[in-house]
Amino acid sequence: MDDKSFSGKPNGPARLRYDLSDYQVLTPGSFVFCAVTGKPIPLEELRYWNPVRQEAYCDAAASTAREGALNRDQASGLNRLIPDLPVGESGH
């Protein structure tokens, strides 16, 4: 379904379902909010989103920043799970 109709709330926020190369309008509106900056993005300017996280981004820099932040969070979480091992001790 490629319904990008802006009827309903033309000046309010839209609710979208993001697919790999397109999106579907679930609730009509004229903009969505950037997941990084919180800024409104007019639908006609929306170019960046993540279909897995269902997030919109105002530009490539915001998308990259979000990906980097999530990767850092995952790496720091993994570091907390792996205990520090003594260096140079064989345990024999």
State the pTM of this model.
Answer: 0.68
Q: What is the DSSP letter of 19?
A: -
Asked if the model's pLDDT at residue 2 lies above 80, the reply is no
pLDDT tens-digit profile of 65-91? 998 888 787 776 655 555 555 555 555
DSSP H/E element including 66: helix 60-81
DSSP for 35-47 reads: TTT--EEEGGG--
The span from the first CA to the last CA of the chain, in angstroms, equals 65
